[in-house]
Structure 1
Amino acid sequence: MSKLCVLFEHAAGYALFSVKEFEEVGILLPQVEESVTDLGRFHGVVKLVGFLPFKTALAALENVNSISEGVVPNDLKLFLDSSLPGKRKKLILGVADPKLGASIAEALDVKCDHTGVVPELIRGIRYHFHNLVKGFTAKSSGVAQLGLGHSYSRAKVKFNVHRVDNMIIQSIALLDQLDKDVNTFSMRIREWYSYHFPELVKIVPENYLFAKVAQLIKNRKELTEEKLEALEEIVMDSAKAQAIIDASKSSMGMDISPVDLLNIEMFAGRVIALADYRKQLAEYLRCKMAGVAPNLATLIGDQVGARLIAHAGSLTNLAKYPASTVQILGAEKALFRALKTKGNTPKYGLLFHSTFIGRAGAKNKGRISRYLANKCSIASRIDCFTDTPSSIFGEKLRQQVEDRLKFYETGDVPKKNIDVMKEALEEAAQVVVAAEEESPKKKKKKDKKRKSENIENGNSNGAAVDNGTVEAEVDDDVPKKKKKRKSKSQNDE
């Protein structure tokens, strides 16, 4: 007759319960469901075998992180090894998570089950846990759960601050919004100022320059040759500047009051400030993309790459997508409409904004889109899972797309993908080795400064040697070992 034990993971620690008369409990599943809320009846079903509390909050966080990944922590392994009864072949361990059950079965050679009566028993244990363990209250249970919940969620969202793709998603959304707003406001100021100086629109058609010129001129009747230099600085053309002055003298526009001119000037200043901020934001996005997804940015540009990341939700999500999904990302409506009407599916989505699609011929747009999506998928995966970000792979992938465009036009056979990737891997390895050689030198300089400071402070007996010197000595050996291995592999070749 097999015996059932149930493992329960709580924020305060691990608990192991034995189930009385397991076979009968399995048959009387409806009765178990009813007895879950009744403590007296539930006491007749389960009995506490052992409880292992977590010593610190950090230990609890480490254990819950391991459990969430389906890995058996050492604390849990030792607890089960000491608490489980002797005859484990006839024992069944009830667990909530099937992944954790598989790991426990592999580590301790115990049969684990997460089906049948086990979920109901775990539900009852969770409901009555503070009453089943001595010295434990509902308040202390709630405090433990709240504390661990906060630390667990904080650990989940705590990534490398220099490689956070959330900032890219927000900045590209703001950039698109700014483009719309600047365009709308520019059209408004052109209409508004054209009542006073209608000829200016034809001479200066650019929105940004029009706003700057309108802010400088103000009242066209006061425009004289003295402002010629200032106009030349804005429009960067002496002929245009002179044409503006000539047009102001014979303009058909209506007169305008000082109050209206003041409002137009203020509004023009806001439009100029927004346009300047838009340029700063574009530069910020370029820097963020260079740190988070350098290969993707090198391949298709900062803004298209950022739009792909934003549409996918994160760089990790984009890396998980197959190339076929990346190709039509952003064209979901057209895709579902085509599937519904049994028409032609779209060839590209957000990738249409890439320069490669525009340069390809009408026949080759779909082919180059498919090829580009394949390379984008590779680049996003490299960016997502690499430890040291670099744009080497992005440059090679971009060259591959260029060669493919040439192949469609002239028929020149491009390099094979495997050869290009080998070259990229060799270059990346050289960069890593160079970086590792530089880092010990910097650490040595820092250590010398620290030692000299310690000697000056009177600690010349060597007692003030800190962890930094030890780390530097250990790190010095790393590049040497790598160099030896490399030379050995070269000799073997």
Structure 2
Amino acid sequence: MYCRTAQLIGNRKELSEESLPSLEEVVMDGAKAQAILEASRSSMGMDISPIDLINIERFSARVASLASYRLELQEYLRSKMSQVAPNLATLIGDVVGARLISHAGSLTNLAKYPASTVQILGAEKALFRYWGAPSLLGKEVAAVMVGQEPSWVTGEDDDGGRVPTSVYGEKLRGQVEERLTFYETGDVPRKNVDVMKEAIKEATDVATEVKRKLVKKEKKRLKREKKLQDSNGDAEVENGDADTPVVKEEEEKKKKKTKLLQED
């Protein structure tokens, strides 16, 4: 925002009331835009040379472009993770999930790792180089719900298998939240086997519903094709070519009948 503001203002002497709408659009605050305008008029700083101003504008444009590109990458990552690893993304987020996959080498490798290995991904150097207590958390500490907890609470989390639904990720995330709540309230969390039974049932229902919709869609498509073929067949009969054998036979019969009537 600062760079976009600097890029918009340029030379402060050229900033006027006409620039307020554009400035307010950048800073998203009318009062702040007015304060910037007033500050530009009362500033005691020295004037910027044309060369310095050019470099400032180029630098600001570059930073704003990189920020925009970063947003595009985030959207791409979100879309890709929802297709490749929806459960992992639901459990710990798109960015942290992608970091874990990258560090493990592949999603398959990550799925095969035990919890103790997942726990130290990204902290291997610190683990084998420590003088005293080792680092017990790696990339996963970047997850919001893990990183905000005190060090004596943070522990391990696992990633389930690959399925085209985020049901398992939602259930696993709920289990993690229940275990974190346990340290505060003492409420005993549900057993994993019970939660996974619910997840399997919901995932099965989702798969059944998706399959039902696909079958229904396929039936409609076949029905449209059959209707189109029937209509094309009727059109061919009505608008048939005069040179076809059937048409020729009908014409020969008509000619013979006409000739007999003339002879009579």
TM-score range (shorter-chain normalised) is 0.7 to 0.9
**How far apart are residue 231 of structure 1 and its match?**
1.3
Residue 152 of structure 2, aligned match among 351, 359, 363: 363
% identical equivalent positions: 60
Which residue matches 1:412?
Answer: 187
Q: Distance in 1 between matches of 2:150 and 2:123?
A: 21
Q: Deviations over 1:241-288 (max 9, x none)?
A: 121111111223222344543343233222212111110110110010
Among candidates 296, 314, 317, match of residue 109 of structure 2: 317
Alpha-carbon shift at residue 459 of structure 1 (Å): 8.7
Q: What letter corresponds to residue 66 of structure 2 in structure 1?
A: L
Matched residues in 1 for 2:125 and 2:55: separation? 43
CA distance in 2, matches of 1:344, 1:261: 51
Q: Secondary structure at the match of 2:187?
A: coil
Taking a change above 3 Å as real, the CA distance of residues 307 and 224 of structure 1, as seen in their structure-2 partners, is: same
1:256 aligns with 2:48: yes
Q: Supply the distance in 2 between the matched residues of 1:210 and 1:364 (Cα, whole angstroms).
A: 38
Separation (CA, whole Å) in 2 of partners of 1:400 and 1:213: 45
Separation in 2, partners of 1:288, 1:310: 14
The alpha carbon displacement at 1:437 in A equals 1.2
Matched residue count = 235
SS in 1 for 2:34: helix
CA distance in 2, matches of 1:356, 1:213: 34
Q: Which amino acid aligns with 1:332?
A: E
- Provide the C-alpha distance between the structure 2 equivalents of 1:407 and 1:359, rounded to a whole number of angstroms: 15
Aligned amino acid, residue 207 of structure 2: V
Deviations 1:154-207 (Å, cap 9, x if unpaired)? xxxxxxxxxxxxxxxxxxxxxxxxxxxxxxxxxxxxxxxxxxxxxxxxxxxxxx
Shift of 1:358: 2.7
1:221 aligns with 2:221: no
**Does 2:233 match 1:444?**
no
Change (3 A) 1:459 1:331: farther
Q: List runs of 5+ in structure 2 lacking aligned partners.
A: 236-264
1:307 aligns with 2:99: yes
Task: Quote the Cα distance in structure 2 between the aligned partners of 1:267 and 1:363.
Answer: 44
Q: What are the equivalent positions in structure 2 for 1:47-446 lying under 5 Å apart?
A: 209-338=1-130, 343-365=132-154, 369-370=155-156, 372=157, 375-376=158-159, 379=160, 382-383=161-162, 386=163, 389-446=164-221
Q: Which has the higher contact order (CA 8 A, sep 6+)?
A: 2
Q: Spell out, residue by residue over 1:117-174, the C-alpha distance to the aligned partner (whole angstroms, 9 max, x if none).
A: xxxxxxxxxxxxxxxxxxxxxxxxxxxxxxxxxxxxxxxxxxxxxxxxxxxxxxxxxx
Q: Which amino acid aligns with 1:331?
A: A
Counterpart Cα distance in 2 of 1:459 and 1:445: 21
CA distance in 1, matches of 2:8, 2:148: 40
Residue type at the aligned position of 1:310 = S
**1:86 aligned partner:** none
Aligned pairs (5 A) from 1:480-491: none
Find the aligned partners of 2:27 and 2:117 in 1 and give their Cα distance: 45
Superposition deviation, residue 303 in structure 1: 0.3
In structure 2, give the amino acid aligned to 1:299.
Answer: L
Task: Report the secondary structure of 2:233's partner residue.
Answer: coil
In 1, distance between residues paired with 2:59 and 2:146?
Answer: 38
SS in 2 for 1:254: coil
SS at match of 1:457: helix
450-459 vs 228-237, greater mean Cα deviation: 450-459
**One-letter amino acid matched to 1:396:** K
Cα deviation 1:382-425 (Å, max 9, x = unaligned) = 12xx3xx1000100100101110110111011111111000111
Q: Secondary structure at the match of 1:423?
A: helix
Higher percent of residues as helix: 2
Match of 1:174 in 2: none
Distance between the aligned counterparts of 2:58 and 2:135, measured in 1? 46
Deviations 1:302-353 (A, max 9, x none): 0000000000111011112111100000001111124xx5x43321000110
The AA in structure 2 aligned to 1:355 is V
Partner residue in 1 for 2:261? none
* Secondary structure at the counterpart of residue 48 of structure 2: coil
The answer to whether residue 245 in structure 2 is matched with residue 456 in structure 1 is no
Return the alpha-carbon distance in structure 1 between the equivalents of residues 117 and 217 of structure 2.
Answer: 45
Alpha-carbon distance in structure 2 between the residues aligned to 1:459 and 1:438: 32
Q: Distance in 1 between matches of 2:46 and 2:231?
A: 80
Normalising to structure 1: TM-score of the pair?
Answer: 0.46
How many Å apart are 1:361 and its aligned residue? 2.6
